[in-house]
Each structure stands twice: as structure tokens, then as C-alpha cells.
Amino acid sequence: MARKKFIAGNWKMNTSLDEARALAKGLVDIAGKITDVDIAVCPPYTNLLAVGEIIKGSSIKLGAQDVHWEAKGAYTGKISCAMLKSVGVTYVIIGHSEQRSYFNETDETVNKKTKAALAAGLLPIVCVGETLAERKAGKLTEVVGRQVKGAFAGIPVSDALKCTIAYEPVWAIGTGEVATPQQANEAHQFIRSVLVSVYDKTTADSMRIQYGGSMKPDNAKDLLALSDVDGGLIGGAALKAGDFLGIIKPV
């Protein structure tokens, strides 16, 4: 099953308006015509509109880093799916480990956000991954299996096919520590086996699974060559246009 690679940049809580504009312009210049790989950038909410204007007409799509599941109302500090749609957002990251560890994200809220995003026509990037302690305790399959099943509970096949999963071992995020190709491929194959049990083999084979965790130009080629790695969710290296391009088109 040929799955088109998908590279998304998660800018996290970085970039002023000017910095975001400059980064987006740099990306459009060097990567804005690439079509054999799907590309998205996920700037902070405050920069979505400006970045969206700059990438408009290029092959780069706009993503957000989180969303709230409620449609509107008294949820101070939150942003709805419709608000994201209204500024041109296509993808939304859901369940990032920083959300899970700092802001009480649970499998249940990931599921609610994923359902709300799909209902609004957004394409979720659902993040899963184990901590170092969990991996050392031999709990990778228990934890990641629970996260995948929890995220997709009650979501029909037709909607699941619109989702990307990002496998992001927590111990590799922003640490410079990267999963070995073997560790990454094993985890991705395990996630695909969970998708077979939740859905079916055809669905599991169609869904893209990105790797995330200190992916950089110098390790991207080996990771992206793996049969079950369908792209990357990139943090630190997405903040420099040249590094991001080096991941999209590793030499």
C-alpha cells in the first residue's frame, strides 16, 4: 500500500508575528512547489492568519496545534474547530505529549477533540507515545495501544481514514535522543496492528503514521525509508526553513 509521505512542522510556542512571516516566506520559497510529499506547518494560533496568507497558493497547508471540542461559549482561552476553519486551517494536532503532560489531556479529551475536528472538516494529527519510564517498564504496547484505541473510540472507518497518527516517543521529543529506525518501525507496526483490530487491514494500511521526536535532516533519511514510517511531525527542526526542507527532501 503506497502512502504519500506527510511532513508537518509543529512550531509550538515559538515565533512572533514577524518571525512567523519570515519563516513562512522562507518555506514557500524553498518548499512551496513540492507535491510528492504532503507538507503542513502548525504555527501558534496568533500567527495562523498571517502564515495562511503567505502559504496560500503554495502546496503547504496550514495546521493548528490544538483545538477545543466544544462549538462555542464560556471556555476562556480556548479555540473551536469552526474558528480554525474560518482562518483556513486544514490540519489540527491533537493529544501532543506536551498537552497530555502539562494540560491534563487524556485519552477521553483526545477522542472528543478528534470527533469535533472531523465533524468540522478538519484533518486530525493524533499524537501517541510512551514515556521513558513506560518503555523501560515494558509498557509500550499497553500505553500506546490504549492511546490509539481511546483516540479512535466510536470513530467510523470513513473518518479514521482522514486522520494521521503521529508516534512520538516522549523521551525523544526535544531531547536530541532519537528512536532507532528499528524502535520506530516496531512501534509503527504495532500501531498498525492496533488499527487492524479496531478497524480492518485495508483501513490500517491506508492510514499514515508519522514519526516525531528529534527528527532532523541528518536522521530523516533513515527514518523515512522505513516501510511503516509515513512522514514526520517535526518540532525544533521546523523552525528553520533549511532544516525543514532537509527533512522533506533528505539527500
Catalytic residue flag (residue 105): no
Which residue among the candidates 96, 98, 105, 130 is catalytic per the annotation? 96
- What is the C-alpha to C-alpha distance for residues 112 and 151, in angstroms, rounded to an integer? 8
| Exposed e or buried b per residue across 108-135, where buried means at least 16 C-beta atoms within 10 angstroms of its C-beta | ebbbebbbbbbebebbbbbbbbbbeebb
- Closest to ligand PEP by CB, 198 vs 236, is 236
Per CB under 6 A, residues contacting ligand PEP are 10, 168, 173-174, 212-215, 233-237
Instruction: Using the structure block, give the residue that is written with the C-alpha cell 502548525.
Output: 42
Residue whose beta carbon is closest to ligand PEP: 235
CB of 154 to ligand PEP, least distance (A): 26
- Closest to ligand PEP by CB, 8 vs 198, is 8
CB of 82 to ligand PEP, least distance (A): 25
| Exposed e or buried b per residue across 56-71, where buried means at least 16 C-beta atoms within 10 angstroms of its C-beta | eebebbbbbbbbbbee
- Closest to ligand PEP by CB, 52 vs 235, is 235
Torsion of CA 35, 31, 17, 217, to 10 degrees: 110
- Residues facing residue 250 across a β-bridge: none
- Closest to ligand PEP by CB, 21 vs 216, is 216
Which residue among the candidates 98, 105, 130, 168 is catalytic per the annotation? 168
CB of 86 to ligand PEP, least distance (A): 25
CB of 63 to ligand PEP, least distance (A): 12
Catalytic residue flag (residue 168): yes
List the grid coordinates of 7.
511532513
- Closest to ligand PEP by CB, 57 vs 176, is 176
CB of 239 to ligand PEP, least distance (A): 9
HSE-CB of 146 using CA atoms within 13 angstroms: 9
Q: Write the CA distances from 247 to 31, 132, 135, 169, 180, integer angstroms.
A: 11, 25, 26, 19, 16
- What is the C-alpha to C-alpha distance for residues 58 and 40, in angstroms, rounded to an integer? 11
Residues identified as active-site:
96, 168
